[in-house]
Amino acid sequence: MDIKKIFWILSWLVAGVTFAMILIHYGDIPDEVPMHFDATGVVDRYGSKNELFILPVLSVLLILLFQFMTGKSIKINKHKQGVKNEAQVTVTKTFMSQMALYCTLLFGWLVYQSMAVAVGKQTGLSSYFLVATFGGFIILLAFYYIQLKKVKE
């Protein structure tokens, strides 16, 4: 199986698990849950527990957007010939599937953390969460850039 398909399948699974996690624990969650954290991980806004569905819905929309964009890239670049262009398209498609999975994992983790804070298992996000999040994006972008450079040579 193609690695891109694996990333897409994992993205959909994570989004589904996030929805399921909310639905399974919905009765245990208090009516007011943390919805926003500041840069240090401290809760700075609370909202209705129904708002927990916002991030999974955004995950699904992002997955659909990234899949649409990868489908469009084939049609846009179809007129160009050459192995280089095909390799660039493949690298870009893989990157898009990786970004979809990363964002879906990130949103799922945020929902889990919000639920954990709401039921009193935690007091907030880790102070390293923001650094780790940006670090993950930078690493993904660096790998994409390196792979694209190799293909262009």
**Cα(46)–Cα(49) distance, rounded to whole angstroms?**
9
Q: What's the mean pLDDT in 28-39?
A: 91
Are the CB atoms for 130 and 39 separated by under 8 Å? Answer: yes
Helix (H) or strand (E) holding 48: strand 43-48
For position 73, what pLDDT does the model report?
A: 63
**Per the structure block, which two tokens stand in for 19?**
């929805």
Q: DSSP label at 1?
A: -
Q: What's the mean pLDDT in 131-135?
A: 91
**Cα(42)–Cα(134) distance, rounded to whole angstroms?**
18
**Cα(133)–Cα(126) distance, rounded to whole angstroms?**
11
**Per the structure block, which two tokens stand in for 75?**
């049609």
pLDDT in tens, 67-117: 998 887 666 555 665 656 778 888 889 999 999 999 999 999 999 999 999
Whole-structure pTM value: 0.87
**Per the structure block, which two tokens stand in for 27?**
């009765």
